[in-house]
Each structure stands twice: as C-alpha cells, then as structure tokens.
Amino acid sequence: MRWFVIAALMFGIADVWAQAPVVRRPPAPANGPQAPQGIEADVPTIKVETRLVNVALNVVDAKGAPVGGLGRDDFQIFEDGKPQKTAIFEKESSTPLSIVLAIDTSESVMTNARLEKEAAKHFVHAILRDQDELDLMEFSDQVRELVPFTNQRKRIESGLNEMQRGEATALYDAVYLASQRLDGTSEGGGRRRVIVLITDGGDTVKGSKYMQALEQAQRAGAMVYSIIIVPIYADAGRNTGGEHALIQLAEDTGGKYYYVVDPQDLEPAFAHVSDDLRTQYLLGYYAPKRGTDSSFRTIKVKMKDAGLPYQLQYRKGYYADAR
C-alpha cells in the first residue's frame, strides 16, 4: 500500500511550508514474506504552500458613516481578477493593532506643540487596548524613534514630551522606516498594522522616494492614515503635490486621510482614525503561491449587491514574496 502524507500549516500572512517525514515500510522479518515487487520503500511527499491574505475593510454609506451588520456573504473578494473563497470573516474587528504614530516636527507643522501633544495623548488613551502596541516616531531633518513598541501609555506620553523641532521633513524616510518596524511585529491573531502620519506632506530631504515608501508599506501590509496639516486652504504656496501623494498612499494601503487646518481639529481627526479602526471588517482568503515570483498581486473587494450605495476602503494588493 502506498501512503501519502499532506501537511500544511496556514497562519498569518507569511508563507509557510509544511513537509511530513517520509513514511518508510518497516523491514520484513527474515522468515516472513518479502514485499511484492514494484512497491517502493520511499513514499513521495506532497508539498502544499499557501498564504493567508488578511484584508481589513471599511464600509461607509453615502454620508461617510460606518456601515455595520454586514456578513460574510455580502462580499466578494478577487485576486488578480479571479474570485477567492472567503476563509475568515470578522465583524467590527477586535483583532490586535500594531501602530506607528509618526509626527512631523518641522517648523511648518509644529505651530502649537501643546495642542498637538495633547491630541496625540488622547488618541493613545482612546486606541490602545491590552492586545495593542504603539511605536512613537518623530521626523524632521531625520527620523527618530522616541518610544519602541509598547502598550504602556505613560512611556508614550513621556516620548511625546521629548519631541524636538527641526527644519526639514524626511516624510518618505519616515514611512519607509515605520513600515520596516511594523514588518517585524507579530502576525498572530490577524494583527493589523497601521501607520498614522501627522504632516503637511512636504518631503524636503534627499532619501527614500515615494514609490520606495509605498512599496515598503505594502510589503509590511501596513494601512497608512494621513492627517494632513494645511495652514491655509487658499495658499498658493501649498505643497499640493505632497498632499496628493499622502492621499494616494492612504488609498493604496487601505487607510484614509483627513485635513486639519486648525490644531484644535487634530482631536476630531484622531477620533475618526480611532473609530475607523474599531469598525473594520476583517476578511481573509488562502491564495496559493504560483511559483517563486515576487510580483504584486491586486486585491478587489465588491458588494454582492451592486445596488447598495456603499464605499469600500481596503488595501489594493500585496507582494507575493512579502513576509
């Protein structure tokens, strides 16, 4: 008899290989019957490689209000245009969060440091649960990690008090390095990875470029939330190109963007981010890896009822070799 063993371990967004040991026929007793001719002693092992792709999804109505009460059968998910079976579905996701809060401390942004710090502190208290963690970074002339990943609010508050003003804005370096830090966090329990940026969108440092920052965020599976500081909407000197880049970064990674004109508006902007992360659906599907390529795989999620006037926000894809 030929035995076949198939073992596959499917967990998180990483590729996982599982290979069972080769099953060997025990040697026949010296005086017993010999194995019939044609039966192989070594039985081949079949390898199965799978990838669990998690997709955090926000659904809002025409007024931008979150839509709850939807179920697994309300959605269709596609990879590279091909329908996928939804293997995981959670409502109002309670899965853990890894967040990098990256604050632009250049002179153009830090106009009211006290209000900005207080708004950030309130956000930290509102968003962090026991299963969550937050990393605090500041960026101006360079990127500086003030507090590594922690769940301790007091440590984060102390870090916020240590922020220092600078002259330049290393925006894309901040996105790149924040994504790298997130890439090293645990993938257990469907953990969601998030970057919250507070900036005016003007990158003025020679370093990482936009496409490098975007790719690194996509490789980490990070959602980028851009809180865009705008001094004056009608200012002809505004860096609208930088703003558009932040908007595109948010849309491509499944995050959102918010404009802030007055520092007092930071509080409601943070509240929007917090509400957004608390009302997400989590969809997951198993996507077989096709060979060893490292191409970008596109993701599309649709409502099965195309007549519903809902907007869906989710990441637009992932890299096949990302871990």
**The pLDDT of residue 44:** 56
- Does residue 129 have a pLDDT over 70? yes
Q: Higher confidence at residue 130 or residue 110?
A: 130
Write the pLDDT tens digit of every residue in 237-281. 566 778 999 999 999 999 999 999 888 889 999 999 999 999 999
What is the predicted pLDDT for the residue at 37? 45
Identify the CATH assignment for 97-278 out of 3.40.50.410, 3.40.366.10, 3.30.70.3170, 3.40.50.1000.
Answer: 3.40.50.410
Better pLDDT: 95 or 6 = 95
| pLDDT tens-digit map of 55-71 | 999 999 999 889 989 99
**Once rounded to an integer, what is the mean pLDDT over residues 277-293?**
85
Architecture per CATH, 51-91+280-319: Sandwich (2.60)
The domain segmentation of the chain, as residue ranges, is 1-50, 51-91+280-319, 97-278
pLDDT at 302 over 50: yes
Residue range 129-143: mean pLDDT, rounded = 95
Residue 262: what pLDDT? 83
Contact 85, 285 (CB under 8 A): yes
pLDDT band (50, 70, 90) for residue 235: low
pLDDT per residue as tens digits for the range 162-195? 999 898 899 999 999 999 999 999 887 788 999 9
- pTM for the whole thing? 0.81
**Residue 2, pLDDT above cutoff 80:** no
Q: Which pLDDT score, from 0 to 100, does residue 11 have?
A: 37
Please, what is the average pLDDT of the chain?
83
**The pLDDT of residue 12:** 41
Q: Which 3-state string (H, E, C) describes the chain? A: CCCCCECCCCCCCCCEEECCCCCECCCCCCCCCCCCCCCCCECCCECEEECEEEEEEEEECCCCCECCCCCHHHEEEEECCEEECCCEEECCCCCCEEEEEEEECECCCCCCHHHHHHHHHHHHHHHCCCCCEEEEEEECCCEEEEEEEECCHHHHHHHHHCCCCECCCCHHHHHHHHHHHHHCCCCHHHCEEEEEEEECCCCCCCCCCHHHHHHHHHHHCEEEEEEEECCCCCCCCCCHHHHHHHHHHHHHHCCCEEEECCHHHHHHHHHHHHHHHHCCEEEEEECCCCCCCCCEEEEEEEECCCCCCCEEECCCEEECCCC
In angstroms, the CA 190 to CA 275 distance is: 19
pLDDT at 237: 56
Q: What is the pLDDT of residue 73?
A: 96
Per-residue pLDDT, 45: 54
Choice among 27-41, 108-122, 201-215, 274-288 with the minimum mean pLDDT: 27-41
Using pLDDT thresholds of 50, 70 and 90, give the confidence band for residue 300.
Answer: very high
- Split at pLDDT 50, 70, 90, the class of 150 is very high
Q: State residue 26's pLDDT score.
A: 42
- pLDDT tens digits along 77-125: 999 999 999 999 998 778 899 999 999 998 878 777 788 899 999 999 9
Q: Taking residues 33-41, what's their average pLDDT?
A: 43
